Structure 1
Amino acid sequence: MPKIWGDKIPPRNKNFTGREALLEQLHAGIASDVTAVVPHALHGMGGVGKTQVAVEYAWRYASDYDVVWWIAADQALLVPAALAALAPRLDLPPVKAVGIEDTAAAVLDALRRGEPSDRWLLIFDNADQPEDINRLIPRGPGHVLITSRNQEWRSVVDTVPVDVFTKGESVQFLHKRVSNSLQEADAQRLADELGHLPLALEQAGALQAEAGMSVEEYLQQLARHMPDTLQDPKPLDYPRSMTAAWRLSVSQLEQQMAEAVDLLRCCAFFGPDPIPVDVFRWGADGAGPGLQELLDKPLLRSKAIRVIGRYALAGLDPENRTLQVHRLIQALLRADLDDEEQDRFRKVVHRLLASARPGDPENEANWPRYSELVRHIVPSEVAFTRDPEVRDFALNMVRYLYRSGQHQQGLTFAGDFLRQWTLDSGPDDRHVIAAQAQMGSVQRELGDYPGAYETDRAAWERAKQVLGDEHEMSLFISQGLGADLRARGDFAEATRHEEQVLQAHISALGRPHLEVLNATNNLALDYALISNYTRARSMHEEVYNASSKRTDVSKVSHLIFWGNLVRVVRLCGDYEEACDLAEEAHAFGVKELDIEHWVTLRTAKDWSIALRRSGRYDEASALAQDVLERSTRLYGPTHPDTLAAAMNNANAMRTTGRINAAFDLAAQTMERYPGVYRPEHPYNHGCAGNLALMHRVRGDAASARKLNEQCLEALDDRLTRDHHYSLTVAINLASDLTALGELTRAQQLGDDTLQRTRQLLGETHPLTLGCAANLSVILRRTGSEDEADALLAGTLVHYGRVLGPNHPDAVVAREQRQLDFDFDPPPI
């Protein structure tokens, strides 16, 4: 067997019959593609046995492969999750570390490169949407097999038609399925009547084996049901003999156990994927007397499931405790009910899904249960429910998708629910508001900051109006809106907003509540963004200490709080303390989460910055490069975390003398920033300041001056001059002017910047010391030797106490060279 054998691969069919020429043709075709492997699609109508051929191919040729993976592809948006599930088996980061989309992309990239093996087989079953699935099919050294009813695959891949059984195969199958004693003539008559369709033959064989019905009697019964099929205007591309065979099986099932038929009809309104039998344990309101009795009695329920399986109306998997009804059977069952009955059974399924009790979607332990149910959301049309409990379940499903990293699917579900529920219940319905809130969260995680802001703002206003300011939904949305404001670059407005949010949380929930801790953390982020580092540090310490003592804080949240403390300690100028904190936090992330978990990577990036600030340039550069490579591979080049990692790496390369490479990376990153944040966002101007600095280091002080002047004007307008970002650019601009010989203006700017920096950050903050050291250089060049000596002497004393006399900044200051300062954008 292959080293990696997917747990979704169906068991081998002991009654599989014939298809030898088809399997040999398929294997020869795939194997002949030596240089560029082309996917192959098994194409044919429903019930013809495409999936069974794919199953047999996987088992028969398993030894040709190191990896065999099965993907249910009928819902295109869920295919990335199935691909991502392969990641840990390929030694790639798991889904919980980086999210579904990025993990799936990493899997596809590994398969294309043939790592860790080029002997792989991926089977996409029921892939009826080529336009959505094709982009998720790897083209590489391995093999891809597709099953589909859609003829459009012919223009995309090599297709292999799958037809009904030959007469010989039909007879052979019936001998296996019914009995070897079945007469050849009887088997041929039966096969001819059923059009040699494998699914119809399976139904007929199961019924005869179960009921002991003779072929003659079966054909008589089939003839009685056949006229009914001619009157049914069903839009199905199946032979009418299939409908007749199905009706006959259901009729016999009803005679043996009437309750089982209602259970089967219920299954018709789930998806065609495996249904966990546990969903039937809790019952459902409105199920009707017969079905409710069956649901309420475990022994009766188990018997009904077994009988359905024996009549081949559903496939049973005792090991995984699931049953699965073929989509053709589901379609026939639904079509046989009038609109009122369809509506009743659909509502029963909704209640069964909601009653399955998967638990809190924030808790990872409950994610496997949600994963079992997610594929039934769209087929069962949950978006059309008006049942409050079912809507609560639907919103929990969106939250699960968001927390587990399946953001695109979460956005789709949230959008579907929001649109339909608004039509059905109006914009003031609490579930409509909740769907809007969930949609805003997913939009923000996907990087759609403008969309998230508009969604959250509208939802918050509606929630306050309908539910009240202190309702938990209003409070939840208010936290998201604070993050939206930070993403817009409205730092002062975000701070005012989050101050009110924190007070509202305390008033409504009380200080010990976990959400109060989150609100406090968010406000501390705002204070750091307006350069109030002392207050931010105090609050982050409070949150971190409380988090360390509580048992209801997840490891992810704890590391987030820890990483925020690392950052603000470094921003306060305590570089060595920040290094120690970051090293410990990173070790925690690697041990408890994963080295490539998104929070661990953020912690590593902040550790790299702290190392650089402390003067340990080589260590910082190595770590920065590692974080950038991982972030790019996992998130792509335009993700906000990747952009921040790229800028950190450019800054690190500059400190280690790789100026040209640093300049190229900074310029490339600068071009990408406005695509994520608005053009006027302070991060864009801060990063442009880094590029300006590198212009001067490369000898182009004129370009540096021009760019720094633009950055400073924009930052002054956005943040005022009394902000860390503005002052950093002002210090560098003074150095540009000095290099250009404009000493008078350089001295004026240096004097003003030093006073402001002392006022904002304190006398001994490293940025203040660097500003003073640079000013002493300017004073010396203007002939103010005494003033320069006095300023330098005091500055060096402070350097010795704060960073140590051998810190690179202290050495540069002592040698009367000008210091350069860069910017690192923090996460929103």
Structure 2
Amino acid sequence: MFVGRTAELDALNSAFASSSEVVLHAVHGLGGVGKSALAQRWAADREELVRWWINADSPAEIDAGLAALARALQPGLSQVPTETQTERALAWLATRGEWLLVLDNVEDPAHIRPLMDRIAGRGRVIVTTRRATGWYQHAVTVRLGTLKRADSVALFTRILTHNGPRTTDGVDEVCAVLGDLALAVEQAGSFCAESGTDPHTYLQLLADRPEDVYAARAEGFDPARTMDRIWRVTLDRLAETPLAGTLLRILAWYAPDNIPRDLLTPVADPLDLAATLGRLTAYSMITDNHDGTLSVHRLVQDLARTPHNDDPHRQAEDIECARDHATELLAVGYPDDSTHPDTWAQYQDLAPHTDALISRHTSCQDTFPTALILDRAGSFQLLQGSIALALSAFQRALATCERVLGPEHPATLASRNNLAGAYESAGDLGRAVPLYESALADRVRVLGPDHPDTLTACNNLAGAYQSAGEEGRALPLYERTLADCVRVLGPDHPDTLISRNNLAYAYESAGDLGRALPLYERTLADRVRVLGPDHPYTLTSRNNLAGAYESAGDSGRALPLYERTLADRVRVLGPDHPDTLTSRNNLACAYQSAGDSGRAVPLFESALADRVRVLGPDHPDTLASRNNLAGAYQSAGEEGRALPLYESALADCVRVLGPDHPDTLASRNNLAGAYQSAGEEGRALPLYESALADCVRVLGPDHPDTLASRNNLAGAYQSAGDLGRAVPLFESALADRVRVLGPDHPATLASRNNLACAYQAAGDLGRAVPLYESALADRVRVLGPDHPATLASRNNLACAYQAAGDLGRAVPL
């Protein structure tokens, strides 16, 4: 049966209509793609007086076909020698023009060259061949690809239902698995029609017993034309090039399309490799895309991965060896650094081949190079925000390292650390912290307490404690780690500088700006001296110091430093580096904190657009940008734009990160705040209550984000006029913050001010005024007299004095 191929038939008609001389048109393609069927269909509609088909897979077959033509033209020649018959046919073709020869399955262009030289200037010749190259100059060649999906489905369905109605559910899936190869579709359809096998059952059989299914055929189906036979015949013809089979078996483990040719460089001598790839291309077993990549039909790959005892090209041992070789090549092909955009294209190019390789064998067959691939792919996926994929990769990598190398091998310890980091990125601190603790204990025991990897593990665990809101455990560990780094590595070692930066950040998070700022300033000076002013770590230090100035309310120092850092990152890293995008977002936040919405909003919009373009719409940083822009709209009084964006940001966080990720919880809280600002208490209160319950459940009752959520709910109750619930909740929030964060943390100071406001709103100036006075004194002492929060406290106290009728104290404030 013949379906589709309208464009190919039109192309043949156009080519043959262009000349009165002999026209050689070679239709080439993979075995089983439908070359002979196309030639047969096209020839059937031709008007030449003589149309003759010759099976031309060898010179002897060509001569036999010509002899048969002579006998058909002149039956009396049957008694003369075959050589004479062949000569008579050639003479006849050379002197007449109304004829068409179809030379089917030509193995080598040289086999038909004597024929073409004899009949020059006459008739039409169409050649079908697997050979894509080697045709002489007046040959016109057309590459025949696989069927279009609609045509392959139509072919399968027509065969399946030829003798009556049958279920066709699953036909599309079968054709997809078979790669729309005409022969495979016909063979599968015929088998299903004769055996009564429905398409879904056929798919299951193909998955369970591929070696048998590829050979299975209906009665009357040419045994020489089955899928497995076509593969073997082609490789038999390449027997003098044993590297061809090796390369095909390696390529079989990758994705079918866009396989980087450079991956194969270590396999063989460059000349041998180029020659073998050329032969495979010539026989249409692979496709050279002429862009540095190769493609292989998925059915060729499936056959190359399927062992068969009777096929010398598909021996189980060779296939397993090829799998391991493919894995090693892919491991070597990955760049070392996934953090720089210059390597992203290469990581993205290798990603589908990693997915294919990993999915085509079980985890018990993984080797250490498999773990390396998974680790590199996982690191890139984590960087790109694909947290679920990264987790899966790191989990399998760790299991492989433990099985292959043992639980105490340094690579296993590193893999355990990487998985803990992925859990932390996913917000799953319940699994991250114990794994970090285990990784640290293992490194201390195996490598010793002073090994650089052990110090890194200490630093990572401290970071996890900090993420979990356990400042009481984070700060001492950061301090101890810094002291150990100085002692073991020296004060100027890059890892020591990282440790110093992390400790400064921990102080800042704890609200201890008195220790954070000097440490940030020292770290920046050290990095400039040791690494240079343009090193990425130096730029990070400059950004962090700007952030600390912002936290201290010192916009006069924060803004110029943010602006300089952004300019430096654009110059050094490029405008699209993730750190540059972060700088742009941070500068926008600083403008917003300084009350400059006119500069903040456009920069937030630009930062969001850039992150969508560079990182994608679902990257966690992009989600954060969306939330930040909504906040900027809200600060600018544009509730009409803020609310839909907050709602969209929350929906995206739930979809991408999950409902319990810390960023999702923060987004829920932000949306509740936006509802509150818009006066929609009916939507704000239930969302605040839900956010608090989720924070308690996911993060625990004492996590800083939980404490913030409790404070926000109290504020919502106050805004709704429900002081009976607001005041006790504010009191609880203040007590918890004193206990967890300490009495001088900025959040604790904010809670003290909020409770004073609630007392005032309740008309209890007797409790409000002393608390306002205490809050102001504390903010002056901790934050300084000019911090925006201190100025707000001073204003609140003045209002309280005024409300109490004490203008003598109100006016000076």
TM-score after normalising by structure 2: 0.62
Aligned to 1:716: 738
Q: Look up the SS of the partner of 2:288 in the other structure.
A: strand
Decide whether the 8 Å contact of 1:246 with 1:329 is kept in 2: yes
Deviates more, 1:599-608 or 1:206-215: 206-215
Aligned to 2:493: 513
Aligned mates of 1:624, 1:757 — CA distance in 2: 30
Aligned mates of 1:21, 1:518 — CA distance in 2: 65
Structure 2 residue 504 is the aligned partner of structure 1 residue 504: no
Aligned to 2:747: 725
Structure 2 residue 246 is the aligned partner of structure 1 residue 262: yes
Aligned mates of 2:638, 2:344 — CA distance in 1: 44
AA matched with 2:38: E
| Structure exhibiting the larger radius of gyration computed from Cα positions | 2
AA matched with 1:467: L
Decide whether the 8 Å contact of 2:238 with 2:244 is kept in 1: yes
Post-superposition Cα deviations, 1:265-320, rounded to whole Å, max 9, x if no partner, equal 3333444333323223234xxxxxxxxxxx1x221221111112212222223x22
Aligned mates of 1:605, 1:534 — CA distance in 2: 26
Aligned to 1:542: 522
Which structure 2 segments of 5+ residues have no match?
Answer: 10-26, 45-49, 62-102, 116-125, 131-186, 188-208, 218-222, 309-313, 643-672
Give runs of aligned pairs for residues 449-528 of structure 1, distance below 5 A: 449-528=429-508
C-alpha displacement of 1:264 = 2.9
Aligned mates of 1:495, 1:351 — CA distance in 2: 42
AA matched with 1:536: A
Distance 1:774 1:274, change over 3 A: closer
Structure 2 residue corresponding to 1:750, chosen from 752, 772, 791: 772
Distance 1:417 1:616, change over 3 A: closer
Structure 1 residue corresponding to 2:277, chosen from 301, 305, 310: 305
Aligned to 1:567: 547
Decide whether the 8 Å contact of 2:331 with 2:370 is kept in 1: yes
Post-superposition Cα deviations, 1:124-182, rounded to whole Å, max 9, x if no partner, equal xxxxxxxxxxxxxxxxxxxxxxxxxxxxxxxxxxxxxxx9859752535899xxxxx99
C-alpha displacement of 1:602 = 4.9
Aligned mates of 1:277, 1:609 — CA distance in 2: 46
Aligned to 1:375: 352
Deviates more, 1:533-542 or 1:328-337: 328-337
Distance 1:165 1:451, change over 3 A: same
Structure 2 residue 746 is the aligned partner of structure 1 residue 775: no
C-alpha displacement of 1:688 = 4.9
Aligned to 2:228: 243
Post-superposition Cα deviations, 1:75-102, rounded to whole Å, max 9, x if no partner, equal xxxxxxxxxxxxxxxxxxxxxxxxxxxx
Give the % identical residues.
22
Distance 1:650 1:486, change over 3 A: farther
Q: Look up the SS of the partner of 1:282 in the other structure.
A: helix
Aligned mates of 1:638, 1:685 — CA distance in 2: 26
Decide whether the 8 Å contact of 1:494 with 1:526 is kept in 2: yes
Structure 2 residue 265 is the aligned partner of structure 1 residue 281: yes
Aligned to 2:294: 323
Aligned to 2:194: none
Decide whether the 8 Å contact of 1:708 with 1:729 is kept in 2: yes
Q: Look up the SS of the partner of 1:184 in the other structure.
A: strand
Aligned to 2:4: 19
C-alpha displacement of 1:555 = 7.3
Q: Look up the SS of the partner of 1:281 in the other structure.
A: helix
Decide whether the 8 Å contact of 1:268 with 1:329 is kept in 2: yes
C-alpha displacement of 1:470 = 3.5
Aligned to 2:155: none
Aligned to 1:184: 53
Aligned mates of 1:713, 1:648 — CA distance in 2: 31
Deviates more, 1:503-512 or 1:535-544: 503-512
Decide whether the 8 Å contact of 1:415 with 1:439 is kept in 2: yes
Structure 2 residue 336 is the aligned partner of structure 1 residue 314: no
Give runs of aligned pairs for residues 693-704 of structure 1, distance below 5 A: 693=715, 704=726
Post-superposition Cα deviations, 1:187-219, rounded to whole Å, max 9, x if no partner, equal 89x9xxxxxxxxxxxx9847455877999xx99
Aligned to 2:40: 171
C-alpha displacement of 1:619 = 5.1
Aligned mates of 1:644, 1:685 — CA distance in 2: 21
AA matched with 2:248: L
Structure with larger RCO (C-alpha < 8 A, sep 6+) = 1
Distance 1:478 1:783, change over 3 A: same
Calculate the aligned-residue CA RMSD, in Å: 4.8
Distance 1:488 1:267, change over 3 A: same
C-alpha displacement of 1:458 = 2.9
Distance 1:701 1:675, change over 3 A: closer
Distance 1:777 1:566, change over 3 A: same
Q: Look up the SS of the partner of 2:266 in the other structure.
A: coil
Structure 2 residue corresponding to 1:682, chosen from 697, 704, 726: 704
C-alpha displacement of 1:730 = 0.9
Deviates more, 1:231-240 or 1:532-541: 231-240
Decide whether the 8 Å contact of 1:447 with 1:639 is kept in 2: no
Aligned mates of 2:674, 2:345 — CA distance in 1: 48
Structure 1 residue corresponding to 2:303, chosen from 313, 332, 339: 332
C-alpha displacement of 1:781 = 4.5
Aligned mates of 1:757, 1:446 — CA distance in 2: 35
C-alpha displacement of 1:536 = 1.0
Aligned residues: 597
C-alpha displacement of 1:515 = 2.8
Aligned mates of 2:596, 2:406 — CA distance in 1: 59
AA matched with 1:705: V
Which structure 1 segments of 5+ residues have no match?
Answer: 1-16, 25-48, 53-162, 176-180, 191-202, 220-225, 284-294, 794-812, 814-828
Aligned mates of 1:173, 1:666 — CA distance in 2: 72
Give runs of aligned pairs for residues 342-741 of structure 1, distance below 5 A: 342-356=319-333, 358-381=335-358, 388=368, 391-392=371-372, 394-548=374-528, 557=537, 560-588=540-568, 599=579, 602-603=582-583, 606-608=586-588, 610-616=590-596, 635=619, 650=634, 653=637, 661-662=677-678, 671=690, 678-680=699-701, 681-686=703-708, 688-690=710-712, 692-693=714-715, 704-741=726-763
Distance 1:346 1:520, change over 3 A: same
Q: Look up the SS of the partner of 1:531 in the other structure.
A: coil
Aligned mates of 1:596, 1:698 — CA distance in 2: 45
C-alpha displacement of 1:728 = 0.7
Distance 1:305 1:623, change over 3 A: closer
Distance 1:373 1:571, change over 3 A: closer
Aligned mates of 1:662, 1:623 — CA distance in 2: 24
Distance 1:170 1:507, change over 3 A: farther
C-alpha displacement of 1:569 = 0.5
Q: Look up the SS of the partner of 1:323 in the other structure.
A: strand
Distance 1:553 1:642, change over 3 A: farther
AA matched with 1:464: V
C-alpha displacement of 1:530 = 1.3
AA matched with 2:562: A
Decide whether the 8 Å contact of 1:206 with 1:310 is kept in 2: no
C-alpha displacement of 1:379 = 3.9
